[in-house]
Structure 1
Amino acid sequence: MSKPINVYSVPDARKTLDEAIPEIFSRLGYSQKFKLIDTKLVLGYSLIVFAAASFFIDKKIPWEQSKKYQQILVILYAIVCGVQLWFSKFVEKGTVYQGVKKSDKISVGAKYKKYSPEFQFIISNGKSRKVELDTTYTKFFSEEGYLQSEILFSWFKEQLQTLESKKLT
């Protein structure tokens, strides 16, 4: 059983649900893909490398000699920041889980409202079908703030069956 959260805290509920999703889909037979996470890590670490190189150059080489290197590093930093922003806004789009089961691919995204217990899950199986589901946190948490894993598991299982039935029609 998970630790209790404040069910009136949107960030706590969001974090708990996001952390529970990989285990839920693992129980459903999916194995998680980390392509989006790996891309975010590469972009983030490259920003760290550019910043560290700039710091090192600033400390070891006089300003007049290092100015052209600093300009190049700032331009690279700005470009990678732009790519990272574009990636999170248009590629990742709130995706919290990607998985694969044999030849079936699944992607789960979430859109949370800032001060509301309402949110939306988007479950898609690649490019062909998707289901958009509006729900609330109160459905998956007890009054004491414990995540009710079985309810969440059966809810996702039901939604995947709905997605499969859409695929057949």
Structure 2
Amino acid sequence: MAKIPVYSLNDLKSTTDDAVTPYLTSLPKPCNFVAINTKSNVRLILGYAAVSIAAVSFYVDYTKGWEATKPWILPAVIAYFALNLGLTIWIWGVEAGQVFEGMNNEGMKLWLCSSTKKQSALYKLRILRVSSSGKVVKEKTAVAPFTRWFSADGVFHCGAFRQWLASEIGIPAPTTSEQ
């Protein structure tokens, strides 16, 4: 089992965030959620478009030379920076820490956004559950120390995290066999 450096808040948060989607999408029916990946897809499109522009510009300049590519480089650089600006705005403004967006079989939507503060080993999870009719069923912020699901030597205890997440979201807690 991989160990996480317990003094790295970024690693603790990333590992915890990465455990959310597999758990929520693997719950038994009717509690399971289907992930909605629209925001991730937009992020990937913006990022890959910017990298593609840079790669094509490099390749054409390398093969054709500077004089042949000079008229196209400035527009390519502008497009690259525009796409990266769009990507940055998307990550900070639209995704805003979102780690999960999904819907269950009954049409209930679930949004989870996580955050941590520097020098604080607390995991903050903003939870929003909306019914299929659009009514907010639950909106709360849950806070817990990382030590609740990480051991002192950095081992992630999935069962403890799943128990905490289930209790905060308001879904049935996993049984021992599901952990």
TM-score, L = length of structure 2: 0.79
Distance 1:90 1:32 in 2: 20
Q: Which amino acid in 1 is paired with 2:117?
A: K
Q: Tell which deviates more after alignment, 59-68 or 74-83.
A: 59-68
CA deviation after TM superposition for structure 1 residue 71, in Å: 1.2
Structure 1 pair 9–64 and aligned structure 2 pair: CA distance change class (3 A)? closer
- Given the alignment of the two structures, is residue 149 of structure 1 paired with residue 158 of structure 2, yes or no? yes
1:20 aligns with 19
**Contact 2:13-2:123 within 8 A present in 1 as well:** no
- Given the alignment of the two structures, is residue 48 of structure 1 paired with residue 51 of structure 2, yes or no? yes
2:111 aligns with 107
CA deviation after TM superposition for structure 1 residue 141, in Å: 2.0
Q: What is the DSSP-based 3-state SS (H/G/I as helix, E as strand, rest coil) of the residue aligned with 1:125? A: strand
CA deviation after TM superposition for structure 1 residue 62, in Å: 4.2
Q: Which amino acid in 2 is paired with 1:112?
A: T
Q: What is the DSSP-based 3-state SS (H/G/I as helix, E as strand, rest coil) of the residue aligned with 1:131? A: strand
Ranges in structure 1 where 5+ consecutive residues have no aligned partner = 163-169
Q: Which amino acid in 1 is paired with 2:62?
A: K
Distance 1:13 1:65 in 2: 49
Distance 1:9 1:90 in 2: 25
1:118 aligns with 122
Task: Please report the RMSD computed on the Cα atoms of aligned residues, expressed in angstroms.
Answer: 2.1
2:82 aligns with 79
Structure showing greater relative contact order (alpha-carbon pairs closer than 8 Å, 6 or more residues apart): 1
Distance 1:60 1:150 in 2: 55
Structure 1 pair 92–68 and aligned structure 2 pair: CA distance change class (3 A)? same
CA deviation after TM superposition for structure 1 residue 73, in Å: 0.6
Distance 1:5 1:56 in 2: 39
TM-score, L = length of structure 1: 0.83
Q: What is the DSSP-based 3-state SS (H/G/I as helix, E as strand, rest coil) of the residue aligned with 2:170? A: helix
More helix by share: 1
CA deviation after TM superposition for structure 1 residue 87, in Å: 0.1
Please point out which of 56, 66, 70 is paired with 1:67: 70
Q: What is the DSSP-based 3-state SS (H/G/I as helix, E as strand, rest coil) of the residue aligned with 2:127? A: strand
Give 4+ residue runs of structure 1 displaced > 6 Å after superposition: none
- Given the alignment of the two structures, is residue 5 of structure 1 paired with residue 4 of structure 2, yes or no? yes
CA deviation after TM superposition for structure 1 residue 76, in Å: 0.8
CA deviation after TM superposition for structure 1 residue 33, in Å: 2.0
Q: What is the DSSP-based 3-state SS (H/G/I as helix, E as strand, rest coil) of the residue aligned with 1:147? A: coil
Q: What is the DSSP-based 3-state SS (H/G/I as helix, E as strand, rest coil) of the residue aligned with 2:44? A: helix
Q: Give aligned pairs, total.
A: 161
Structure 1 pair 56–145 and aligned structure 2 pair: CA distance change class (3 A)? closer
Distance 1:59 1:89 in 2: 35
Percent identity between matched residues is: 24
